Amino acid sequence: MTAFTPERMNSYCEAEDLCPDARTAELASFQKFLHDGAGKVVLELGSGNGTLTKCLTDMGWTVDTVDIAFQAPPGARRHYNADIANGLGFLPKDAAYDAVASLAVLHHVASDPKRLPTPLADDMAAVTKPGAMVILQDVPGDAALPQMPNSPDGAAGATGADGVYGAATTTRIFAELVDPHSTPTHNGIYLQMPAISSQLTQSTGPEFEPVACFHHACDWRFPNRDTAIQYVQSLFNLDLDRNRIEAVIEPVLKTVGAQGGQIHLPWALDCLVLRRT
């Protein structure tokens, strides 16, 4: 498990302040599958400083959040400071959510290369109502997934010799920058969404049915190259000077639009959607 130290938390918040819209495209999967939250309650795992929380509240959801390090983000109804790797036993016994959602968290709790920690998988059905959606999005662990059909940036998801372009860039940045140079260092273990789908639909009992499993191409977007480099350095709290970060990301940065336009960093996350039966 990768701990989020206070220094890493500050650095993460610095990045989000530097360019609050950089990761907006990551939210499209949630907007597609959880667009109508009116009258419903979602449990958000690993809320951080609230990027997904805001998206969910904007779609009408009442949001309960859990995070091992960060306090309640703005808009949360209830917040639990807890370790999800140990399961969801910190919730009230009668917890019954209409959805569970998670963005960029599960790679922090991976101890097995392919699956959710067993206590977390075991508790998922207990805290959801029949018909509830579970949507988990995280760092790519499997290059064989199809691409999201209406990915917000089709060009970033173009398929090449090394699979979906954005996914190849994401895994390379984790392997070359995040795993060795993030402080604290990441454990280099990434979950495979098809295996988690099997885990939740078969191993823990027939409580979930698969809805979708795909690469979501979701370029990060910046006003200029300097911001892109500074953002990557701060988001992952990299113990590296900017020249070395630039050497890794510069070859893949793309200018989009006329007269300099926006700078895109190809990015993709794996997304799994399940429905509670």
Ligand X SMILES: C[S@@+](CC[C@H](N)C(=O)[O-])C[C@H]1O[C@@H](n2cnc3c(N)ncnc32)[C@H](O)[C@@H]1O
Contacting positions for ligand X (CB under 6 A): 1, 4, 46-48, 51-52, 66-70, 83-85, 103-105, 108-109
The nearer residue to ligand X, 165 or 236, going by C-beta atoms, is: 236
Cα(232)–Cα(245) distance, rounded to whole angstroms? 8
Q: Closest separation between CB of residue 229 and ligand X, Å?
A: 19
What are the residues facing 210 on neighbouring strands? Answer: 274
Q: Closest separation between CB of residue 18 and ligand X, Å?
A: 14
Q: Closest separation between CB of residue 219 and ligand X, Å?
A: 16
Q: Are 85 and 117 in contact (CB under 8 A)?
A: yes
Q: Are 263 and 253 in contact (CB under 8 A)?
A: yes
3-state secondary structure of 263: strand
The nearer residue to ligand X, 103 or 240, going by C-beta atoms, is: 103
The nearer residue to ligand X, 174 or 214, going by C-beta atoms, is: 174
Q: Which residue is nearest to ligand X (CB)?
A: 48
Pairing of strands 268-276, 208-217: antiparallel
Q: Closest separation between CB of residue 17 and ligand X, Å?
A: 13
The nearer residue to ligand X, 104 or 252, going by C-beta atoms, is: 104
Q: Closest separation between CB of residue 120 and ligand X, Å?
A: 9
The nearer residue to ligand X, 98 or 138, going by C-beta atoms, is: 138
Q: Closest separation between CB of residue 261 and ligand X, Å?
A: 25
* Cα dihedral across residues 249, 255, 259, 261: positive or negative: negative
Cβ neighbour number for residue 77 with a 10 Å cutoff: 13
Return phi, psi of residue 3, to 5°. -80, 150
The nearer residue to ligand X, 107 or 275, going by C-beta atoms, is: 107
